[in-house]
Structure 1
């Protein structure tokens, strides 16, 4: 006698259903016979010479295993759950469960259980099965080598993986769906398996995965049926990512992406709702394949009637009056119904700091409030609304904590947090805290997350946890290059989260003392012709209680004169600059706490030792520059300081020296006249060499007197704004202006502190306090006089698109339009006469190396007043954040 219970894997679900049906029918004799017959027809279940009335109980005797398998008999029997001596009903749930367990192991391809012998109440079983083959080798055709690893990882196709029909089907469907989402509408994936015949007992197969993505399908046309009020053109415009072929359009693609198309169908309905057609629906949409391998989209819509707003009533509001809420809602009776805008006025999910009713409540403690608009009447296409408000209980912060800061000390973070225990909940303070933590530069701005823990509407409390992820906050600059006639070596160290109090603690060097938010920078640069040494330090919270930043810097530069005969540095002739600066910057509270008032005092000593270059009229002597700088700035840009998406930043600074002329008994008008006379003699070729030499020496003496203590004032303005045009596209317009003036016109403008416009904006070894202003598309410092200019303005428009904003590397591409010019007096100043340029670039920010980039700029104007346009220039950017 033999009973075969056989369930093929491809019919697993149906098999389970039939088994269950059979077990149910076993309770009655007739139904049992029907079940046996049904099993025999569907699943190769047979009974030979076996008499049954109902399912009977048996004791299991021997359990044998047969078939093509590498697993031991003991392992298979143990995994099935069957065991010798077990009492069970046959047929029954025990046999079904054993089969299920073996299927779920994903190790076998066929499972058959036989009753081979029955003696009394003892039954002998045989489990016959075959191992699923393992993947031996995988060959992928039709994609680049760089894409193969991701295909293997996404579909778990590593060597040794069990190859099932489900694996093959899932892989095929996954890849075809993936490529269709990318616009390859006709993609096809074929998978073949080949058995491996060798001496190894384990069943193995080689898999060949053939991928034919085809070409991306373009949309030839998009037509709408059923639209009478809104034209096809307007409806196509509402589709943000699905566009038909237009050779003029650059930014938007015409390739079909199914996921984008489905989202755009929703945008069409939103567009109708914004125009009052709240009942608009898409009845159907179809794809038409054209002979030229393009597709056309045909969309059937029903518009319905246009609605207007009727009475709008607030219900449940006790904290704010109807008038206060109406001022935020800004919707009046008779306005065209706009369900999308109504929802934004109540809760704008696209802007965390939006001026909507939800934020009005949440910024004043009502975290548990809910606001729901309900249509109560739509008679005559006029919709009466009730805005039902459940204010709830005001919420207070119970505890505030931070997790994820392994290096930064807690007090550095907590002093920036705007939410305190016991404080009334405010969403605005939560948003501002996230922004401030991102602006520190110690954490990945994209990973900062405020987490609400244990919200308790009954007691009105909530715990707040800010999750942060540390990034490298120190940078190293180690580079060598050839320029200025020789090798230039640079070593720069910048520690942006330094802890000076731990410098004498050995345990703190990991590799340097860190965690207190201080900044320390060292920079050494040298070549045959110059040497530069600088040190700077800043403490953002002087005293630890108020946001008052203290900073100091010391620098020394030594420049050697180039000898054109030996083409080497003449170290007996030098120009030395030594400077020191002390500064304080305080965060203000009015007009708001984005404003910072900064002040600094600086002193530079310029020493010239037989250094005659034409840059200065005297080659031996010195100048002293004692100046005071005051600045007012405001920066409310978004969380990520590397890639801001909204907000603005501006600064106004004034730098000036004491008015020495007021306290001096020197007649600078007389000196000026004398200088003009000597300059006339110097330029007169009829004069003897001795006379001209004496005139030159006298000019140098006069200028030495004029510039012994530099007298000047300088004003700078810089402003930039960030606007998110789309999800990832950011527009950054900016404007700059600078002016250098003199208190005493007879004394004149100083030859230091001037503006040099053009190029990449880098001033590696500027010696004279100059400001190097970037204007791409032109050579470095080419748009100012040799001695610099006293006035400049610059306008820039930049479009940015992020490639990746991960903590390890932030990369974004940009396009720019720029214009600027420099002048020596207001008589020549014209803000509309500009040197224009345009171009493309890319920026890469890595925590260990700072910001790097390259720009390709095209100058549309000549460098001077006449001549051909400048054309293309390549600029390398190091350490600047534009």
Structure 2
């Protein structure tokens, strides 16, 4: 009803305006260049005292002026301007005594006198007014009100009222130039889904279907965050097709699926019933392949997923066609085409399948052309290309090349395809050129964030990142500006982080494919201060690191680095002094560390110079959230090429991911780290920043951060008695960490997990110290959007703490990973 009235009104308005414009256009040659004698503006629906002022304002805005030559183009522009700002316009143009007289009848937009609500029994009127966003007393604009009314209807759908019907009517008062809007609502049933029940499905089928459905049960804690659990017609239709496709691929080609809605016993809740009528089950019978001369039937049959006697599956038939096409495409037959013809047997229960193959010619890679890279250098794009001119064409490499170019994040769109060579080659064989079309995207990022973690309390950071940096652009920055700093395929990062217990300034730069080799080289400069290890001392440092990494293959990398770093410890001598009655520190009765401990700690200050090597092996299926594979790293570093400290360190770090079943992921982690002092150097001479610390969000959860392992043995300087419960950590040189985790995705917003952690830290060389263990549960939630660091929250139960100061059961941090 509402849309019919709107269509009638729009057609009437367009008719009036177009008729006026058509009449004026027909008389345009007669009016053109004639003098404008008079412009009369009549305002309707306004008080008399304001009509003259509004007419003067409109007259000043017109391009058509009294006493000047008439221009049809200028007058058309005036009418378009007035139509946008006023409710209705009626122009009249006449010739009087050789001059043009223009009369404009204008109706200003009316004022909304009142908005009446009817039928909203479950939604408060105040809430609906807020969602509508248009208040009484404001100017009535049809287009804006229609947009607001559409948002109001969407609000009802979002709240689960899938049967809601909304309509409105407008009553005009020409005397006051105002309108009264009546909004009529029929809310219908609320669509919060209490349960999804299945009929004629096995338990295994129900689990699979629930995972593929986008319609979910309503969850009080998560539905508001994810927008799930609400009935939606489009989602129900999508799920119906998904379920039907799933059942048909089990062999039930005649299956029918029905989704019905019933009211639940609980108010404002519904139940969705999913029922299937399977019908007869069909199977594959004989499978034959025709047209193949290059590869035998047996070779192609081993590749395709269908077998005689298996349930008939349309999806597997399509996959078989794709498999055969890809098999030929990997070997240069990029025009190969496969198709299938199913034929129902006389028994009516099985299909005979005939696969027909058109093989075509074998092609080699011709020229590779890059199109659309007005910023990124061509060689940067070619480094990601697996195809090589002259080689046998491989369609799989073509697809991987497109995927790699998409993943580097430089481009909004990437399209890689083969075309017929433009020139005849003098080389024997057939060639196809490769065109790489790219659309440049934004690669810079300015980020700012505020966060909280149980280890560092509150912190804030700001960073500038450019993923497609060009360091050579600094040489001609005055000529090319910021545009010259893009396109080199380099990574540059500048970050500032300030927190209650730490601060850090960092600058990083990395260049992949250095001098067109598999080497990636770069440097890191940083300056930091951290006192979250202990309240009694802070560690301040500044350093420079040069690094290079060589990619051996898709899974293995080796690297080398050199770093130089200066660190010193800022010790608070007043940290344990009691406070007198005046609020001042009592230094005479102060339980500060002994002079020997201070000297030992301060002796760890100084410069280190280190050379190290790294070996990495990674078969995981995702760089951020893997569910399968192994990630293993071995590190060896020699400290003592100059500087004040002399030792070498070794680390062997492993993470293994395995999908047990039904997206239940098992994760195992094993880390081994050791430091070996050299040249007779004592452990106390090793800088605190280089030592290992244990406990906290990612190092044995459920314990206080860095509180496990050796502590300073403090004494009262006057009594020579040990200070009780003194727990300032001093770090260790031998550390082992084991962690086991079971995780399961939850409603697409992250994953829930249970864990068991155990770790040991010792001040003895190559030693396994006392193991601290814990177990617990938690969740990693993607509350900041996909691709951003997750929010990790959890609760751990320590099994064998030494004292209560080591326990920190609740943990929360941003970016928590396994």
- TM-score, with normalisation over the residues of structure 1? 0.59
Partner secondary structure for residue 860 of structure 1 = strand
Q: Does 2:483 correspond to 1:504?
A: no
State which of 718, 723, 739 in structure 1 corresponds to 2:673: 739
In the TM superposition, residue 548 of structure 1 has moved relative to its aligned partner by: 0.9
State which of 544, 547, 569 in structure 1 corresponds to 2:518: 547
Q: Confirm or deny: 8 A CA contact 1:776 1:875 kept in the other structure.
A: no
Q: Does 2:788 correspond to 1:788?
A: no
What is aligned with 2:797? 860
State which of 794, 812, 815 in structure 2 corresponds to 1:874: 812
Q: Confirm or deny: 8 A CA contact 2:473 2:484 kept in the other structure.
A: no
Partner secondary structure for residue 510 of structure 1 = helix
After superposition, give the CA deviation of every residue in 1:478-504 in whole Å (9 maximum; x if it has no partner): 999999999999886555433222222
Q: Does 2:283 correspond to 1:343?
A: no
State which of 486, 492, 502 in structure 2 corresponds to 1:514: 486
Q: Confirm or deny: 8 A CA contact 2:109 2:140 kept in the other structure.
A: no
Q: Confirm or deny: 8 A CA contact 2:191 2:270 kept in the other structure.
A: no
What is aligned with 2:647? 711
> What does 1:578-593 align with in structure 2 at a 5 Å threshold?
579-588=543-552, 592-593=553-554
Q: Confirm or deny: 8 A CA contact 1:645 1:722 kept in the other structure.
A: no
State which of 219, 234, 237 in structure 2 corresponds to 1:262: 237
> What does 1:846-857 align with in structure 2 at a 5 Å threshold?
854-857=791-794
Q: How far apart, in 2, do the equivalents of 1:499 and 1:466 lie?
A: 21
Q: Confirm or deny: 8 A CA contact 2:160 2:230 kept in the other structure.
A: yes
What is aligned with 1:634? 618
Of 749-758 and 256-265, the range deviating more from structure 2: 749-758
In the TM superposition, residue 631 of structure 1 has moved relative to its aligned partner by: 1.6
Q: Confirm or deny: 8 A CA contact 1:280 1:301 kept in the other structure.
A: yes
What is aligned with 1:440? 408
What is aligned with 2:377? 409
Q: How far apart, in 2, do the equivalents of 1:232 and 1:476 lie?
A: 47
Structure 1 residues 80 and 871 mapped into 2: Cα distance closer, same or farther (>3 Å)?
farther
Partner secondary structure for residue 693 of structure 2 = strand
> What does 1:571-582 align with in structure 2 at a 5 Å threshold?
579-582=543-546
What is aligned with 1:307? 282
After superposition, give the CA deviation of every residue in 1:723-760 in whole Å (9 maximum; x if it has no partner): 8999xx99694635132154889978784543323335
In the TM superposition, residue 717 of structure 1 has moved relative to its aligned partner by: 1.6
Q: Confirm or deny: 8 A CA contact 1:542 1:548 kept in the other structure.
A: yes
Unaligned runs of 5+ in 2: 28-82, 85-105, 118-122, 425-429, 573-594, 711-728
Q: How far apart, in 2, do the equivalents of 1:775 and 1:784 lie?
A: 12
Partner secondary structure for residue 655 of structure 2 = strand
Q: Confirm or deny: 8 A CA contact 1:192 1:208 kept in the other structure.
A: yes
Partner secondary structure for residue 368 of structure 1 = coil
Q: Confirm or deny: 8 A CA contact 2:444 2:464 kept in the other structure.
A: no
Q: How far apart, in 2, do the equivalents of 1:434 and 1:140 lie?
A: 57
In the TM superposition, residue 159 of structure 1 has moved relative to its aligned partner by: 2.6
Q: How far apart, in 2, do the equivalents of 1:360 and 1:67 lie?
A: 62
Partner secondary structure for residue 756 of structure 1 = coil
Partner secondary structure for residue 795 of structure 2 = strand
Q: How far apart, in 2, do the equivalents of 1:534 and 1:372 lie?
A: 58
Q: Confirm or deny: 8 A CA contact 2:459 2:497 kept in the other structure.
A: yes
State which of 146, 154, 159 in structure 1 corresponds to 2:141: 159
State which of 316, 323, 342 in structure 2 corresponds to 1:375: 342
In the TM superposition, residue 246 of structure 1 has moved relative to its aligned partner by: 9.9
* Greater C-alpha Rg: 1
In the TM superposition, residue 359 of structure 1 has moved relative to its aligned partner by: 2.8
Of 499-508 and 483-492, the range deviating more from structure 2: 483-492
What is aligned with 1:193? 170
Q: How far apart, in 2, do the equivalents of 1:405 and 1:473 lie?
A: 16
In the TM superposition, residue 315 of structure 1 has moved relative to its aligned partner by: 1.5
Q: Over aligned residue pairs, what C-alpha RMSD do you find? A: 6.1
After superposition, give the CA deviation of every residue in 1:269-299 in whole Å (9 maximum; x if it has no partner): 33433433333334x6654556766556666
Q: Does 2:650 correspond to 1:650?
A: no
What is aligned with 2:358? 390
What is aligned with 2:324? 357
What is aligned with 1:449? 414
What is aligned with 1:681? none
State which of 21, 45, 69 in structure 2 corresponds to 1:75: 21
What is aligned with 2:292? 317
> What does 1:655-804 align with in structure 2 at a 5 Å threshold?
655-657=636-638, 709-719=645-655, 733=667, 735-742=669-676, 751=686, 753-759=690-696, 778-785=703-710, 786-789=729-732, 790-795=734-739, 796=741
Q: How far apart, in 2, do the equivalents of 1:67 and 1:855 lie?
A: 58
In the TM superposition, residue 363 of structure 1 has moved relative to its aligned partner by: 3.2
Q: Does 2:395 correspond to 1:430?
A: no
Q: Confirm or deny: 8 A CA contact 1:559 1:576 kept in the other structure.
A: yes
Q: Confirm or deny: 8 A CA contact 1:637 1:722 kept in the other structure.
A: no
Q: Confirm or deny: 8 A CA contact 1:499 1:513 kept in the other structure.
A: yes
Instruction: State how many pairs are aligned.
Output: 663
State which of 470, 490, 495 in structure 1 corresponds to 2:441: 470
> What does 1:109-258 align with in structure 2 at a 5 Å threshold?
148=132, 159-161=141-143, 183-198=160-175, 207-210=181-184, 213=187, 215-218=190-193, 222=197, 224=199, 234=205, 238=209, 240-241=212-213, 255-258=230-233
Q: Confirm or deny: 8 A CA contact 2:285 2:352 kept in the other structure.
A: yes
Of 606-615 and 318-327, the range deviating more from structure 2: 606-615
Structure 1 residues 628 and 144 mapped into 2: Cα distance closer, same or farther (>3 Å)?
farther
Q: Confirm or deny: 8 A CA contact 1:190 1:210 kept in the other structure.
A: yes
After superposition, give the CA deviation of every residue in 1:180-224 in whole Å (9 maximum; x if it has no partner): 698533212122222242588xxx966554556552253667464
State which of 551, 560, 581 in structure 2 corresponds to 1:599: 560
Partner secondary structure for residue 341 of structure 2 = strand
What is aligned with 1:766? none
In the TM superposition, residue 629 of structure 1 has moved relative to its aligned partner by: 1.8
Partner secondary structure for residue 650 of structure 1 = strand
Structure 1 residues 473 and 211 mapped into 2: Cα distance closer, same or farther (>3 Å)?
farther
After superposition, give the CA deviation of every residue in 1:678-731 in whole Å (9 maximum; x if it has no partner): xxxxxxxxxxxxxxxxxxxxxxxxxxxxx96523331232436598999xx996
Partner secondary structure for residue 584 of structure 1 = strand
Of 307-316 and 335-344, the range deviating more from structure 2: 335-344
Q: Confirm or deny: 8 A CA contact 2:613 2:637 kept in the other structure.
A: yes
Q: How far apart, in 2, do the equivalents of 1:437 and 1:67 lie?
A: 52
Q: Confirm or deny: 8 A CA contact 1:489 1:527 kept in the other structure.
A: yes
In the TM superposition, residue 378 of structure 1 has moved relative to its aligned partner by: 1.9
